[in-house]
Structure 1
Amino acid sequence: MASQRSEDVNNERPTRIAIAEYRDPEKPSPGIRSSISADGDDEFLVDELRRHRCVVTFHPWDCCNVRWEDFDVIIIRKTWDYHLKYDAFLEWIQCLEQSGVKVVNPPQVLRWNTNKRYLEHLSKKGVAIINTIFVDKGQAPSLTSIMQKWPKIVLKPIIGLNGHQVTKIYNQENMTAKQEAFQLMLNDSQDGVMVQPYMPGAQMELSIIFIAGLYSHAIRLQPGESENRDYRQPLRCHPHADAMTVAECAIKACPWEHAPVYARVDLVEDFEEGGYKLMEMELVEPSLYLNVESAVRLANVILKQPQS
């Protein structure tokens, strides 16, 4: 394959790029969408890659009919079900790594970021994170005791995304039932559960996007006025200096020589202790809120940066 690739490069073969996503039942199966335009967050990126004469196709990450090693680059985007097939996802990432194909973000970044215990690493490196208790499977600390310190709490699976099984507890009513539900959540989890204080500032979450370790743009989620109270409108903004300090500290604390190709650092303003705290660092499949300019920067990095 290596000699074939060298021969193809000499013949100026277009770069073959696969965008790995989840298997959407509303899209064609097995999911090869070469003729269908990208949607939402990826539209500007795909347009820019195609402007560079790249052949871009879309494939479910868990499709057994895809020969991933035949691509030059694999970009991880909407793999929104990996937490439900976690072992299979890790095995797939390992296969990509062994094949030598360039993966964005790189496999070691993906493995690290799929488990939210990375927050422990960042905290030890001095990054200001939300106060967090990591509860292992088999343990079951008293929620009543925890809520003596934090009157409102949030429970999150350590391996999970898109709000899957996230539980908010706002009062101490029916605590026996809530404790039992907490135990069931632990038993059902892949690697335990995080307990955090509820942060009112999360309703206006601040996302700071980095490309190759450099600041690109920022988005604040603004609660909408529609009947759907869960909907939040993403608005471009200029982050405060203290927010940038936390975000840049998080990027620098990552355990690799080179910064991730793309990163979204999600922050929340701490109304009690002051300043901003890290909620999550999204390095696997985050919405990046790209526009034309940021898509150009990201495409250039993807095409020029070697696999690390």
Structure 2
Amino acid sequence: MRIAVLVPPPGFHEEWDWAFDVEAAAIRAQGAEVEALPWTDVGDLSGFDLVTPLVAWGYHLDPPRWHALLDRLDRDQVPTLNPVALLRWNSDKRYLAELGDKGIATIATRLVDTMDDAALSAARADFGDELVIKPPVSASADGTHRLGPTDSLPGDVVGKAMMVQPFLHSVTGEGEYSLMLFGGQFSHCIVKRPKAGDYRVQSHLGGREEPCDPPAGAIELAQAALAAAPAEAAYARVDLIRGNDLALKVIELELIEPALWLEHAPDGGALFAATLLQRARQ
């Protein structure tokens, strides 16, 4: 069996081998071949039994190109995990509002089509004086800003579609949890914390992660969030954070190109690889 894993284009600004290598090793341990293909130039896919965008980092930097690739995968009926419909849905963080409408505990979010001072004032009236603003199509904290009570809008967000959320102080103390699930089955959990003086938990920004037991109710919340998605996820990372009301909230579903930290999985990624290959054979 030949598996294509989509990866960043040459010259991408972040190191990605650390994620690809451990995932590819887990798949190869199940007897399959793995080939890395830049998501921006995939070429002929007819010789592959499965295509998965597990490390298609940077797709948010060129949405038209990304959606053209999804259209091609759909049109050519390329066996793809996760399913194309799920990849499209997960490409825009507006899905958080949909999950909230379905009763899933998500971080409170205002979707603003054109960000301006009036929208900022309205968000502060709802969420308090400390906010986080981010683009609905983003990754790795790109374009994300934390605003204090007296901060004005950054120039790069004015007039753009943005998501506004309350700043949750738990991120700098307890941290943000990431639960990995394969075929809906819980595999392992890590907690991510930012470096001192920051709020962003991404490792390339100085954040750190460590394995941990999931907090009470986390697995159930993660599974409920995945059940509310428009298609079944073969692999998923569900990011949770404790709200200011001390309840766990979904802050993000990562169903396209999540770092899965398989090095912390008790089985070394065997469930991950077995789930992908089982779906490929169906």
TM over 0.5: yes
Q: Is the 8 A contact 1:48 1:299 kept in 2?
A: yes
Matched, 1:23 2:9: yes
Q: Write the deviation string for residues 165-188 of structure 1: whole angstroms up to 9, x where unpaired.
A: 111111224x3xx2755424x1xx
Determine the C-alpha separation between the residues in 2 that align with 1:294 and 1:121: 34
Of 191, 196, 209 in structure 2, the residue corresponding to residue 234 of structure 1 is: 209
Per the alignment, residue 214 of structure 1 pairs with 185
After superposition, residues 38-187 of structure 1 pair within 5 angstroms as: 39-63=17-41, 66-137=43-114, 141-149=118-126, 150-173=128-151, 175=152, 178=153, 181-184=156-159, 186=160
Residue identity in the other structure for 2:75: Q
Residue identity in the other structure for 1:164: D
Of 250, 268, 271 in structure 2, the residue corresponding to residue 297 of structure 1 is: 271
TM-score relative to the length of structure 1: 0.80
Q: Larger helix proportion, structure 1 or 2?
A: 1
The alignment-based identity, stated in percent, is: 27
Q: For 1:266, what is the secondary structure of its paired residue?
A: strand
Q: 1:286 to 1:224 in 2, by over 3 A?
A: same
Q: CA deviation at 1:235?
A: 0.9
Determine the C-alpha separation between the residues in 1 that align with 2:37 and 2:17: 14
Q: For 2:111, what is the secondary structure of its paired residue?
A: strand
Q: 1:24 to 1:132 in 2, by over 3 A?
A: same
Residue identity in the other structure for 2:49: D
Q: Is the 8 A contact 1:152 1:197 kept in 2?
A: yes
Q: 1:307 to 1:106 in 2, by over 3 A?
A: farther
Superposed CA RMSD: 2.7
Task: Compare CA radii of gyration and give the structure with the larger one.
Answer: 1
Q: For 1:161, what is the secondary structure of its paired residue?
A: coil
Of 229, 235, 260 in structure 2, the residue corresponding to residue 262 of structure 1 is: 235
Q: CA deviation at 1:47?
A: 1.9
Q: CA deviation at 1:263?
A: 0.7
Q: CA deviation at 1:305?
A: 1.3
Q: Write the deviation string for residues 143-163 of structure 1: whole angstroms up to 9, x where unpaired.
A: 234324411111110111111
Q: CA deviation at 1:277?
A: 1.0
Q: Is the 8 A contact 1:222 1:232 kept in 2?
A: yes
Residue identity in the other structure for 1:221: K
Q: Is the 8 A contact 1:45 1:296 kept in 2?
A: no
Q: Is the 8 A contact 2:131 2:146 kept in 1?
A: yes
What is the total number of aligned residue pairs between the two structures? 271
Q: Is the 8 A contact 1:168 1:198 kept in 2?
A: yes
Q: Is the 8 A contact 1:122 1:250 kept in 2?
A: yes
Q: 1:44 to 1:138 in 2, by over 3 A?
A: closer
Determine the C-alpha separation between the residues in 1 that align with 2:212 and 2:69: 37
Q: Is the 8 A contact 1:80 1:162 kept in 2?
A: no
Q: Write the deviation string for residues 31-87 of structure 1: whole angstroms up to 9, x where unpaired.
A: xxxxxxx932333331232233322111111116x2122211112122221112101
Structure 1 segments (4+ residues) deviating >4 Å: 223-230
Q: For 1:69, what is the secondary structure of its paired residue?
A: coil
Q: Is the 8 A contact 1:106 1:307 kept in 2?
A: no
Q: Write the deviation string for residues 177-227 of structure 1: whole angstroms up to 9, x where unpaired.
A: x2755424x1xxxxx210111111123111111101111111001345799
Determine the C-alpha separation between the residues in 2 that align with 1:115 and 1:107: 14
Of 246, 251, 263 in structure 1, the residue corresponding to residue 226 of structure 2 is: 251
Q: 1:182 to 1:88 in 2, by over 3 A?
A: closer
Q: For 1:280, what is the secondary structure of its paired residue?
A: strand
Q: Write the deviation string for residues 253-297 of structure 1: whole angstroms up to 9, x where unpaired.
A: 1122xx301111111112x31211111111010101113615111
Unpaired runs of 5+ residues, structure 1, are: 1-14, 28-37, 187-191
Q: For 2:9, what is the secondary structure of its paired residue?
A: coil
Unpaired runs of 5+ residues, structure 2, are: none
Determine the C-alpha separation between the residues in 2 that align with 1:303 and 1:145: 48
TM-score relative to the length of structure 2: 0.87
